Structure 1
Amino acid sequence: MDIAGALASAAAALNIVKQLNDVDRSLGEGELRAKIASLYVNLAEVKMALADAQQEIHEKDREIAELKKRTALAKPMIEVHGFSYEAVEGKPTGGLPFCPNCLLEEVQIRPVKVLHAFQCPRCKSHFSRLQYMNAQPAP
Structure 2
Amino acid sequence: MVWVVIAAADEADRLRVLLPRVVSEVEAGDPEGRVLVVDDGSVDDTVALVVRLMVDREVLELEPLRHRSGRATALRRGVRRALEDGADVVVTMDADGRVVPVGPRPLRPAAAGDTPGRRGHRSDCRWCLGASLA
Is this a same-fold pair by TM over 0.5? no
Higher strand share: 2
TM-score calculated relative to the size of structure 1: 0.20
User: Scaled by the length of structure 2, what TM-score is found?
Assistant: 0.21
Larger Rg: 1
Q: When you count helix as a share of all residues, which structure comes out higher?
A: 1
Give the number of the structure with larger relative contact order, counting CA–CA contacts within 8 Å between residues 6 or more apart: 2
